[in-house]
Structure 1
Amino acid sequence: MIPIEPVFIRSKEILTELVSLLDSERSAYGQLDNQTIVQIAEQKRALLDEMSMLNERRINILIKFDILDRDNPLEDDFKTWLKKQDSSMDDTRLLISECEALLSKCKTKNQTNAHILHTLQKRNKHLFELLQGHSSKNKVYTARGSTQPVSSKHTLGRA
C-alpha cells in the first residue's frame, strides 16, 4: 500500500481553507479593509507554500514506488496507474476528485477576486489622477506608445 492518502487528506484541508480565505478576501475588498487584505495574502501564501511542499512529497512518494519516472514525473502517468488499481484505492480516487473540485472552485474565486482588485485599482488610479488635476482628455503618447496624463495647473490640492 502506498502512503499517499495522508497527502491528499491534507491537500483537501488546505484547499478548503483557501476557499474560505478567498471568500474573506472578496469581503475585505468590498469593505476596503487593507489590514485584512494583507493578512489574508500572508495566510494564502503560507497555505500555498505548504501545498507546494505536499506536492513535492507526493511526487517523491510516487517516484519511490516506481509509479512515476524519476527524470520526467508526469501527472498523467499517476492517473493512468490509479485507474488500473483495484477498489482498495477508491478512497484515494474520491479524495483526488474532491481536491480537483476544490481546486477548480479556488481558481474561479481567485479569478473573481482578481477582477475586483483590477476594478478597484482602475478606480483608485482615476481618482488619483483627478486629485492631481489630470483629465482623461489631456493625455499624450509616450515613447513606448502608451498614454500619459498631462498635468493641469488647477489641481484639487492647490484649490
Structure 2
Amino acid sequence: MIPLAPLLTQIKENLEQLSEVLLRERTALATATPDDILQLASEKKTLLDNIDAANAKRQSMLIKFGILDAKNPSDEDFFKWLDKQPNLDEVKGLVSECNGLLDRCKRENNTNAQILATLQKRNKEMFEMLQGHNRKNKVYTSSGGTRPISSKHTLGRA
C-alpha cells in the first residue's frame, strides 16, 4: 500500500497554517504594520516551500508505484486512479480537504493582493501629491493647453 495519508496530512496541516497566516496578513495590511507584513511573508514562503516539497514527494512516490507517467505526471491521472480505489477512503477525504483548503487559501491570498494593490496605489498618489508630481492635477495655460501644477505649490514646501 502507498503511504499517501501521512503526506496528505502534512499538506493539509500546512494549508491550515497558511490560511491562518493569510488572515493575520490581512490584519497587518489593515493596520499597515510593515514589520509584521514582512514576517508573515516569510512564514508564507516557508509554508509554501513545505507544501511544494511534500507534493513533489507525493508525485515521485506515485511515479515510483507506476500510478503516474514519469514523463508527463498529471493530477488528473492521480484522481482517476484514486476514484478506482475502494479501500482508500481516508486518502480520498484528505485529498478533498486539501483541495478545499487550497481554494480557500487562494481566495484569501487574492483578497490580500487586492488590498495591497489598493494601498500601494493610494500611497503612490499621496507621495506624488506631496512632491507636486501628480500627473492628474493639471492647469490650463493661456493658449488652452494643459501643464502639470508647479512643484512650487506643493504641500511639502508649505
TM over 0.5: same fold? yes
Residue 6 of structure 2: aligned partner: 6
Larger Rg, first or second structure (1 or 2) = 2
How large is the RMSD of aligned CA atoms in angstroms? Answer: 1.5
Residue 123 of structure 1: aligned partner: 122
1:34 aligns with 2:34: yes
Do the aligned residues in 1 keep the contact of 2:138 with 2:149 (CA within 8 Å)? Answer: yes
Identity rate, percent: 50
**Cα displacement string for residues 24-49 of structure 1 (whole angstroms, at most 9, x for unaligned residues):** 00000111111100000000001101
- Tell me the distance in 2 between the aligned counterparts of 1:129 and 1:85: 61
Matches within 5 A, 1:21-100: 21-86=21-86, 88-100=87-99
Do the aligned residues in 1 keep the contact of 2:137 with 2:149 (CA within 8 Å)? Answer: no
Instruction: Give the TM-score of the pair, scaled to structure 1.
Output: 0.89
The count of aligned residue pairs is 149
Q: Which runs of 4+ in 1 moved over 4 A?
A: none
User: Secondary structure of 2:151's match?
Assistant: coil
**Cα displacement string for residues 78-137 of structure 1 (whole angstroms, at most 9, x for unaligned residues):** 100001111x20000000000000000001101110110011001101110111013423
CA separation of 1:42 and 1:68: change in aligned 2, threshold 3 A: same
- Tell me the distance in 2 between the aligned counterparts of 1:12 and 1:20: 13
- Tell me the distance in 1 between the aligned counterparts of 2:78 and 2:114: 34
Instruction: Give the TM-score of the pair, scaled to structure 2.
Output: 0.90
Do the aligned residues in 2 keep the contact of 1:29 with 1:117 (CA within 8 Å)? Answer: yes
Which structure 1 residue ranges, 5 or more long, are not aligned? Answer: 140-148
